[in-house]
């Protein structure tokens, strides 16, 4: 057995598994999108049989107003503003404590823009402890 034979076998296995997975990933993407569309129009969904609640969670992106940044933080703005706010540099300033997130928000320089809605699935909290306590209280009454 050559030293390359195990590599060749593993490579073929990777390619075979990839072929099997791709159609499943496409189907999953399609089904998730249909489900998300239903949640957009109908709101959250709870399946008590399997103990899962599904809802859309908004995801935001921080944006910064270059005009307000120039006005409120002129010394910093010189290095930060090119065509857009230099977010990596601003992150360094935030980490270094030169300016705080609260200051940026208070001055209206930082804004949030929803970029997508993330499908969130969470297990339901079991109410068995609560129902047992409720039964005991009812028995005492």
Contact 63, 84 (CB under 8 A): no
Contact 114, 63 (CB under 8 A): no
Does the structure show a pLDDT above 80 at 104?
Answer: yes
Ranking 20-24, 57-61, 68-72, 126-130 by mean pLDDT, the lowest is 126-130
pLDDT of amino acid 71: 94
Ranking 53-57, 88-92, 135-139 by mean pLDDT, the lowest is 135-139
Q: Which two tokens mark 115?
A: 């970029």
Question: Predicted confidence band at 34 (pLDDT cuts at 50, 70, 90)?
Answer: very high
Q: Which of 56, 48, 70 is nearest to 114 (CA)?
A: 56
């Amino acid at each position: 057995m050559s030293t390359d034979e195990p590599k060749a076998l593993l490579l073929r296995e990777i390619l075979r598994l990839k072929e099997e997975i791709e159609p499943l990933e496409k189907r999953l993407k399609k089904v998730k999108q249909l489900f998300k569309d239903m949640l957009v129009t109908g709101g959250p969904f709870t399946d008590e049989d399997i103990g899962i609640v599904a809802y859309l969670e908004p995801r935001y992106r921080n944006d910064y107003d270059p005009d307000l940044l120039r006005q409120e933080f002129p010394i910093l703005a010189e290095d930060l503003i090119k065509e857009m706010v230099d977010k990596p540099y601003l992150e360094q300033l935030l980490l270094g404590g030169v300016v705080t997130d609260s200051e940026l928000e208070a001055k209206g320089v930082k804004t949030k823009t929803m970029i997508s809605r993330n499908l969130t699935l969470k297990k339901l909290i079991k109410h068995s402890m609560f129902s047992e306590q409720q039964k005991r209280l009812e028995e005492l009454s």
